[in-house]
Amino acid sequence: MIDLKAKPFYLKDEDIKWVEETIKGMDLIEKVGQLFCPVGVTDDEEQLKGFLSKIKPGGMMYRPGKGEDIRRTHKLLQDNSKIPLLLAANLEAGGNGTAIDGTYFGKQMQVAATDDEDMAYKLGLVSGREGRVAGCNWAFAPIVDIDMNFRNPITNVRTYGSDPKRVLRMARQCMKGMTESGLAVSIKHFPGDGVDERDQHLLSSVNSLSVEEWDKTYGMIYKGLIEDGAQTVMAGHILLPNYSKKLNPDLKDEEIMPATLSEEILNGLLREKLGFNGLIVTDATAMIGFNVAERREISVPKSIACGCDMFLFNKNIEEDFNFMLKGIKNGILTIERVDEAVTRILATKASLGLHKQKAEDTLVLDEEALKVLKCEEHETWARECADKSVTLVKDTQNLLPITSEKYKRVRLYVLGDSEDGGFKEGEQASDKVKQKLEAEGFEVDVFDNKKLDFREVFEGGIEELKSKYDLIIYVANIETASNQTTVRVDWIHLMAANAPWFVKDIPTMFISVANPYHLLDVPMIKTFINAYSSNEYVVDAVIDKITGKSEFKGISPVDPFCNVWGARF
């Protein structure tokens, strides 16, 4: 039974009337359409009108684009939908999660490194405000995974770290900022990523914690945020075997399913034990972790039958739509369960006031509102976050601060710094680092990873390097990305030509603006800095700190030494 007057909906009688009358006026095709939240692939008006008239989805999500373009597309969608849409974005690190000209505030781990809950609130506020002016009303954030396994290639800096209590403290403040901005949040990825070292984009991953361990960690976080009023939860393609077997002792090991297809995890744990009354959405169903668990013809309707209310993304939307209808015909999914899911979807929309905004034509704000994107206030907060977050992990050679008088000639090695990949924010750091150092009077020579000096690689000795350079700096921007198995340093394969073989002879510094765990691969480097995000505010803060203009204030949210012997030296 859904209580529409209770948390997280808090609907009034007039809102409940809208939900009930809307459902009564829908046929089966319209109800099934509400179950889908496909990814937007075009902004062509005629194509979108045709799609909306045929599928009538409950929501949509577009990848980031220019704010004015995203806003225009969102308005087109809302203007041509009888029932207002939930329009989503991965607003994990700022408004740039939907508008590329929005504020890249900082990755969640950067915010956690400030150990300042107000920074988490401001992340939520910036993300929410900028998402709202672009037409979004649903944030697939905050991430509430725990980065328990430093080898996990997908959680990493997208999390608030490895301490469950800090994750909860930060997430609840971020959630507060987003909801105050008029967005529904979706806390993710239930029942919790970060234990396995693998990526659920590539397989069904496993949270192997015991029931007791889960309750004290992920359970505590989800319970706290549900009590705080989280409107939606995103279920991951993640198995929770120990809880599955506790809730259903008759399950055989080979029958255990990822959360998106697990009735005991969705209903027994999330609904009953944790008391979640709101909307459950699947994680992206194009991910391999979903597709390898069950035949897609079965898994599409089964995900809703097992307790998910909304189906995120598709391989082929028309095929999945037909799979859903076929599942109803074959008895995998009942009409009663469809009605229950649609009720939660509409109730979520009503809780945001979307039905009233539809009548007032305020679902998407006027173009003038786009001025909030990357506004002065938001940039000021982002600079404050950068200043408080940059973390000096170690400086056992007493290198810092550096001056151009002492270390005039610098060789800069760049690792990663690509714009490709799933969660990359499109910010390259190395050019900015070079420019900032040169502005401070340093002479900077960038090692060319693509055009190797073969004489140096095969014949160059230490005296030659010492005659050219006073200081070596590594800048690593090796980011998390979907469908990526590792975020390790991968040296140039020819002689590891860019590896720090010279650390005993030339002062060497390593700056990571992404993955905080690179000491696993460079424990020999004596000066190591974690900055967590590659935005311009972070680069400015890093340069200020290594040149002594500002002190290091960041507190590491994880163990950057990876429990590796010698990494602390």
CB-based contact 172:229 (threshold 8 Å): no
Tell me the average pLDDT across 244-253: 97
Confidence band, pLDDT 50/70/90 cuts, at residue 425: low
Let me know how long the chain is: 569
Q: pLDDT for 132-169, tens place per residue? A: 999 999 999 999 999 999 999 999 999 999 999 999 99
Q: Report the distance separating Cα 400 and Cα 335, nearest Å.
A: 67
Domain boundaries, the chain: 13-360, 390-546
pLDDT of residue 1: 78
Helices 67-79 and 45-55, axial angle in degrees (round to 10): 40
- Catalytic residue numbers, as ranges: 283
Q: pLDDT for 39-96, tens place per residue? A: 999 999 999 999 999 999 999 999 999 999 999 999 999 999 999 999 999 999 999 9
pLDDT at residue 294 greater than cutoff 80: yes
Q: What is the mean pLDDT of the chain?
A: 97
pLDDT of residue 5: 97
Cα–Cα distances (Å) from 5 to 8, 191, 229, 350, 351, in that order, read 8, 26, 13, 11, 10
pLDDT of residue 418: 72
Q: pLDDT for 494-551, tens place per residue? A: 999 999 999 999 999 999 999 999 999 999 999 999 999 999 999 999 999 999 999 9
Q: Report the distance separating Cα 344 and Cα 347, nearest Å.
A: 5
pLDDT at residue 421 greater than cutoff 60: no
What would the CATH number be for the domain defined by 13-360?
3.20.20.300
Q: pLDDT for 114-132, tens place per residue? A: 999 999 999 999 999 999 9
pLDDT of residue 420: 56
Q: What is the share, in percent, of the chain residues with pLDDT greater than 90? A: 97
**What are the backbone dihedrals phi and psi of residue 88, each rounded to the nearest 5 degrees, phi first?**
-105, 160
Q: Report the distance separating Cα 505 and Cα 500, nearest Å.
A: 10
pLDDT at residue 426 greater than cutoff 90: no
Q: Report the distance separating Cα 240 and Cα 160, nearest Å.
A: 21
The yes or no reply on domain 390-546 and CATH 3.40.50.920 is no
Tokens standing for residue 169: 């403290």
Tell me the average pLDDT across 374-384: 98
Tell me the average pLDDT across 5-14: 98
Q: pLDDT for 401-420, tens place per residue? A: 999 999 999 999 999 987 55
DSSP, collapsed to helix, strand or coil, labels residue 553 as: coil
Q: pLDDT for 451-473, tens place per residue? A: 999 999 999 999 999 999 999 99
